[in-house]
Amino acid sequence: MDDLLRLARTMMVRAYAPYSKFHVGAAVRDEEGGLHGGCNVENAAYPEGFCAEASAIAALVAAGKRRVTECVVIGPGPEVISPCGGCRQKLREFAADDVKVHLCGPDGLHRTVTVGELFPMSFGPHHLGRS
Ligand code: THU
């Protein structure tokens, strides 16, 4: 996960978060091993900003990929960063329940969880008759 963490750190530095001042970076590995990163991007209409995880997933899809096989999220503080509800739903769309999500801080790895642990009993494509 070192390569993912390195990219996520770079993303965190690039975050545009003048309102919350809470810089977050994320990086995901796709089904072919490629890496995609994203950061949070805020704007003056506060709820319209988007999260680092959402940006990284958007970058993966924009690159023509469809599956997340590993994910790193890095936040600025000593507290374990925890993806918001919306990001758990977004991640769940592209990642299986056993995919690892590494929650990191400036000092490195804080905790590793799976997508299924982050978001049990999630609503998903199967509810709509999709696999
Ligand atoms: N944020 C993320 O980008 N990812 C998370 O996992 C948690 C929160 C962002 C959203 C907002 O720009 C800032 O952090 C403060 O909530």
Cα dihedral value 119, 125, 128, 131, nearest 10: -130
Task: Report the CATH number at residue 28.
Answer: 3.40.140.10
Separation of CA 66 and ligand 1 centre (Å): 23
- Ligand 1 site, residue 91, Cβ cutoff 6 A: no
Does residue 117 sit in helix, strand or coil?
A: helix
Element (H, E) at 101: strand 100-105
Single pTM value for the model: 0.96
CA gap 49, 42 in Å, rounded? 4
Determine whether 53 is an active site residue.
Answer: yes
- Answer whether 30 contacts ligand 1 (Cβ < 6 A): no
C-alpha 77 to ligand 1 mean position (Å): 12
Q: What tokens were used for 62?
A: 């924009």
Residue 73 is encoded by which pair of tokens? Answer: 């999220």
Write out the residue range of the structural domain in which residue 121 sits.
2-128
Which atom of ligand 1 is the closest one to the Cα of 73?
Answer: 6
Our answer on whether the CB atom of 8 is closer than 6 Å to any ligand 1 atom is: no
Among the options 42, 53, 70, 117, which is catalytic?
53
Domain count, the chain: 1
- CA–centroid distance, residue 40 to ligand 1 (Å): 6
Does ligand 1 have an atom closer than 6 angstroms to the CB of 24? yes
Question: Per-residue confidence of the chain (131 residues) as pLDDT tens digits?
Answer: 899 999 999 999 999 999 999 999 999 999 999 999 999 999 999 999 999 999 999 999 999 999 999 999 999 999 999 999 999 999 999 999 999 999 999 999 999 999 999 999 999 999 999 87
For ligand 1, say whether the CB of 43 is within 6 Å of any of its atoms: no
Helix/strand/coil percentages in the chain, nearest 5:
35, 25, 40
DSSP H or E stretch at residue 64: none
Angle at which helix 85-94 crosses helix 52-62, to 10 degrees, equals 20
